[in-house]
Amino acid sequence: MSESEWTKILGWPGYRVYRSEINEGAKTLRLWVRRKRGNRKLECSGCGRKINEMAEVYEREVRDLPWSEYRTTVVIELYRVCCPDCGIKAEKVALLPSKAPFSKRFEEAVGQACESAPVRRVARQFGLAASTVRAIDLRYLERWAQGRRRPALRQMGVDEIYLGKKQKFLTVVTNLETGEPLWFGRERKKETLDEFFEKRLSAFQRSAIRAACVDMWEPFRQSLEQWVPECRIVYDKFHILQHASQAVDEVRRAEFFRKGGAARDLVRGKRWLLLSSWLNLDRGKRRQLNTLFAFNRRILKAYLLKESLSQLWNYTYEGAMLRYLQSWINQLRWQRLKPMEKLARMLLDHLEGILNYCRTKVPMGVIEAVNGNIKALLRRGRGYRDMNYLLLKAQRLAATKTEFLVLQKAA
Ligand SMILES: [Zn+2]
């Protein structure tokens, strides 16, 4: 093949192949490239200034996309420029976005592969170390994040994810309208959320926030009150039902310890079933629960209360919502279900924020979805030490899903 044909197939804009070498045994291909005759515009990699004169020539080797079975290395002729501001500096080349020995399109291929497969598998596929794949993926995501517009934050979600005994909690701020996680903070204190408002948003950006969907967690409420006093707090259905599920679980555990012998066996291992919604259970699972309920009325009552609480958000008129909540609380009388009574007190203490659901329309389920995506990433990645990497990953996941939805709508 002639050098001009190699140049066409390689397709590096502004560069031509002047030498090639194929090793059939090792299945490798080496291509030497240099600038095309007309391509003489140099740019300083330090400051971006256009420079006419070069100081010296040197070579760099980078891995490019494979050609069929052949692993490809491109040896590129580069210049160092003499910049009035930076001194002797390497020229800036768009095809080589980093100091790592890979071309831009190779890094893009690795980054794209990382979107749908775990790092270990991508590492095997490309014959790279897992740490190298992670570094490439991070650069790929950073380049993507740099070049895109960020929609205004008008409705925010605040949630926390439990990472484990050592790292404890991660606070997640989400843009509810785009379904994109915006920021991660360590722990779940007032100071955690304060940091987001103080460091990430300008006063103008803060004033644009209309509603915040949060858990009934006092430190977050205090931070919102301080930084965005005009914003309406809406206590999220997902979180309230999580509290209800916890209450059912507490009832189950209390019954588990109260009863002995055979009864214990009946209650044991039913935790997951009790946390599931009746509608999501098949006939066999429902039968298992019914056996349990026939035996223990208290667990049945707690389960029914949890299930009926979710209907609270069927109401869009606050008077009706309030009436439904009142009748729900009335059902607790004489039941001696301490965890449920505790939950009822909590709901009454946060009544305004619950009724705000009728006053401000916020999309429900977004927080739950973002939460689920982050947990899936954490499971797949087996521990992200770099929280910035995890955030970029979650943002990309949210953004590619949105693009997908837009495409579907257009079709
Ligand atoms: Zn410079």
Q: What is the pLDDT of residue 149?
A: 84
Taking the centre of ligand 1 as the mean of its atom positions, its distance from the CA of residue 48, in whole angstroms, is 6
What b/e string do you get for 226-237 counting C-beta neighbours within 10 Å, with b at 16 or more? Answer: ebbeebbbbbbb
138 assigned to some structural domain: no
β-strand pairing of 28-35 with 50-51? unpaired
CB-based neighbours (< 5 A) of ligand 1, an ion: 44, 46-47, 49, 83, 85-86
**Residue finishing a domain among 96, 122, 138:** 96
Nearby residues of 333 by Cβ (< 8 Å), 6 or more positions away: none
- How many domains does the chain fold into? 3
CA angle centred on 241, ends 240 and 242, rounded to 5°: 90
Domain that holds residue 326: 237-359
Residue 42 and residue 21 in one domain: yes
Helix axes 387-410, 366-381, angle to 10 degrees: 120
Residue 196 and residue 261 in one domain: no
Nearby residues of 322 by Cβ (< 8 Å), 6 or more positions away: 351, 355
Strand, coil or helix: 295: helix
Q: What CATH code is carried by the domain that includes residue 201?
A: 3.30.420.10
Taking the centre of ligand 1 as the mean of its atom positions, its distance from the CA of residue 58, in whole angstroms, is 18
Taking the centre of ligand 1 as the mean of its atom positions, its distance from the CA of residue 50, in whole angstroms, is 8
Residue 14 and residue 69 in one domain: yes
Q: Which conformational region is residue 49 in: left (phi greater than 0), alpha (psi within -120 to 50 degrees), or beta?
A: beta
Q: What is the pLDDT of residues 280-324, one digit of tens each?
A: 888 888 888 888 787 778 888 898 899 999 999 898 899 999 999
146 assigned to some structural domain: no
Taking the centre of ligand 1 as the mean of its atom positions, its distance from the CA of residue 317, in whole angstroms, is 63
Taking the centre of ligand 1 as the mean of its atom positions, its distance from the CA of residue 55, in whole angstroms, is 13
Nearby residues of 30 by Cβ (< 8 Å), 6 or more positions away: 20, 21, 22, 23, 72, 73, 74, 75
Q: What is the pLDDT of residue 329?
A: 92
256 assigned to some structural domain: yes
341 assigned to some structural domain: yes
Residue 216 and residue 182 in one domain: yes
Q: What is the pLDDT of residue 262?
A: 66
In angstroms, the CA 358 to CA 314 distance is: 10
Count the residues in the chain: 411
Interval 220-231 mean pLDDT:
94
Residue 393 and residue 350 in one domain: no
Residue 196 and residue 292 in one domain: no
Q: What is the pLDDT of residues 15-64, one digit of tens each?
A: 999 999 999 999 999 999 999 988 788 999 989 899 888 889 999 999 99
The closest alpha carbon to 93, from 29, 30, 34, belongs to 34
Residue 193 and residue 285 in one domain: no
128 assigned to some structural domain: no
For the chain, the average pLDDT equals 88
Rounded to a whole number of angstroms, the distance between the first and last alpha carbons of the chain is 43
**pLDDT tier at 167 (50, 70, 90 boundaries)?**
confident
In angstroms, the CA 54 to CA 365 distance is: 57
Taking the centre of ligand 1 as the mean of its atom positions, its distance from the CA of residue 62, in whole angstroms, is 24
26 assigned to some structural domain: yes
**Residue finishing a domain among 359, 376, 392:** 359
Amino acid at position 285, single letter? K
In angstroms, the CA 135 to CA 114 distance is: 11
Strand, coil or helix: 92: coil
398 assigned to some structural domain: yes
Burial of 156 (0-12, 13-18, 19+ CB in 10 A): buried
In angstroms, the CA 10 to CA 1 distance is: 13
Residue 55 and residue 7 in one domain: yes
Nearby residues of 46 by Cβ (< 8 Å), 6 or more positions away: 83, 85, 86, 89
Taking the centre of ligand 1 as the mean of its atom positions, its distance from the CA of residue 76, in whole angstroms, is 21
CA angle centred on 34, ends 1 and 125, rounded to 5°: 70
DSSP per position, 176-238: TTTTEEEEEEES-SHHHHHHIIIII--HHHHHT--EEEE-S-HHHHHHHHHH-TTSEEEE-HH
**pLDDT tier at 383 (50, 70, 90 boundaries)?**
low
69 assigned to some structural domain: yes
**pLDDT tier at 221 (50, 70, 90 boundaries)?**
very high
Task: Please say whether the beta carbons of 314 and 321 come within 8 A.
Answer: no
**Residue finishing a domain among 96, 123, 139:** 96
- The pTM of this model reads 0.79
Taking the centre of ligand 1 as the mean of its atom positions, its distance from the CA of residue 51, in whole angstroms, is 9
Q: What is the pLDDT of residue 165?
A: 81
**pLDDT tier at 328 (50, 70, 90 boundaries)?**
very high
Residue 64 and residue 88 in one domain: yes
Q: What is the pLDDT of residues 386-397, one digit of tens each?
A: 888 999 999 998
Residue 315 and residue 242 in one domain: yes
Residue 58 and residue 25 in one domain: yes
Residue 189 and residue 216 in one domain: yes
Taking the centre of ligand 1 as the mean of its atom positions, its distance from the CA of residue 96, in whole angstroms, is 17
Taking the centre of ligand 1 as the mean of its atom positions, its distance from the CA of residue 90, in whole angstroms, is 9
